[in-house]
């Protein structure tokens, strides 16, 4: 950045590149504008087990001697959901450095240092990352599991999560049709015009891709308070009903699913409104108020 005269920049990293971006944001927060982290292993258990084996000096030296382009041919298919992306050209490009002793040594040293001794101290600093952050994970990523990605998003005060269907660990290579518009929207939204005919256009927030999960846009999307009520049934049972929620259908389904798991109840979407079994008004109001929504209770 100093070389190019950049005072501040947004950092985008895939896998360990994302780890480097996170460390940079921690150590030089004044220089980092935003973060986009694709398939980033945020916790030690997300790193491949071979990392810990390579710390043994004898094993490390043996692997260094044996490494070659063949290793890329073995590992690369695990990074993609659709194996058609594993082309001879891709294997040749990724295997180039492994043809030389210096390249093999660098790979082994890099892998050995993937989990630093003070990893837990760095993890404890996650809540201090103030940059807006987009965490991206392919639904079929074998390195970063969804639970870890969601845990990471919760640890960061200004993070949002994007899950990409039919995608593995290298989302930027496998699903550029989703990743590129998402990056433009997140990093420089003013550069991209939006049309209702765009793939992935959201009628709720009128953006492509959808930005319904962006808390910055919440007030613009939701001008009126949500209506929260309890409809009592004939036999004493009833449902909690949430109306006027302007949200992309997929995110609305996700919110319903999260509520059902968190509250341990059934539920459905009826006429655009969320309905949960039982009186869940207090819990729903607390949850949504924490997300920035205004709630208005109606009825008794």
CATH code of residue 155: 3.40.50.1820
Q: Which of 17-26, 166-175, 178-187 is predicted least confidently? A: 178-187
Q: Please tell me the pTM assigned to this model.
A: 0.59
pLDDT of 173 higher than 90:
yes
* 152 and 137 fall within a common domain: yes
* 61 and 170 fall within a common domain: no
Rg of the chain taking only CA atoms, in angstroms = 23
Per-residue confidence band for 129, with pLDDT thresholds at 50, 70 and 90: very high
Per-residue confidence band for 117, with pLDDT thresholds at 50, 70 and 90: confident
Q: End of a domain among 112, 136, 161?
A: 112
271: left (phi over 0), alpha (psi -120 to 50) or beta: left
H/E element, 273: strand 273-277
Per-residue confidence band for 52, with pLDDT thresholds at 50, 70 and 90: very low
* 248 and 283 fall within a common domain: yes
* 32 and 132 fall within a common domain: yes
Longest distance between any two alpha carbons in the chain, whole Å: 77
Q: Structural domain of residue 291, as residue ranges?
A: 220-297
* 232 and 286 fall within a common domain: yes
* 57 and 20 fall within a common domain: no
Answer whether residue 212 is part of any domain. Answer: no
Mind listing the pLDDT tens digit for each residue in 247-276?
A: 777 778 889 999 999 999 999 999 889 999
């Amino acid at each position: 950045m100093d070389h190019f005269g950049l005072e501040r920049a947004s950092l985008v990293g895939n896998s360990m590149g994302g780890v480097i971006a996170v460390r940079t944001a921690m150590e030089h927060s004044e220089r980092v504008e935003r973060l986009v982290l694709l398939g980033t292993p945020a916790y030690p258990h997300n790193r491949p087990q071979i990392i810990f084996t390579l710390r043994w000096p004898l094993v490390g030296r043996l692997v260094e001697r044996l490494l070659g382009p063949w290793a890329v041919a073995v590992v690369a298919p695990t990074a993609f959901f659709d194996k058609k992306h594993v082309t001879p050209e891709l294997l040749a490009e990724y295997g180039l450095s492994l043809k030389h002793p210096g390249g093999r040594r660098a790979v082994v040293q890099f892998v050995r240092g993937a989990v630093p001794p003070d990893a837990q101290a760095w993890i404890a600093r996650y809540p201090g990352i103030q940059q807006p952050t987009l965490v991206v994970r392919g639904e079929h990523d074998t390195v970063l599991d969804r639970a870890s990605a969601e845990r990471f998003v919760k640890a960061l005060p200004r993070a949002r999560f994007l899950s990409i269907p039919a995608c593995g660990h290298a989302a930027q290579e496998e699903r550029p049709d989703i990743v590129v518009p998402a990056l433009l929207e997140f990093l420089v939204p003013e550069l991209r015009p939006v049309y209702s005919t765009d793939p992935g256009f959201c009628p709720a927030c009128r953006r492509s891709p959808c930005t319904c999960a962006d808390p910055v846009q919440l007030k613009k999307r939701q001008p009126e308070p949500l209506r929260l009520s309890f409809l009592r049934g004939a036999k004493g049972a009833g449902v909690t009903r949430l109306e006027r929620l302007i949200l992309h259908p997929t995110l609305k389904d996700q919110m319903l699913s999260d509520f059902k798991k968190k509250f341990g109840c059934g539920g459905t979407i009826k006429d655009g409104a969320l309905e949960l079994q039982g009186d869940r008004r207090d819990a729903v109001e607390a949850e949504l108020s924490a997300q920035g929504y205004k709630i208005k209770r109606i009825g008794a």
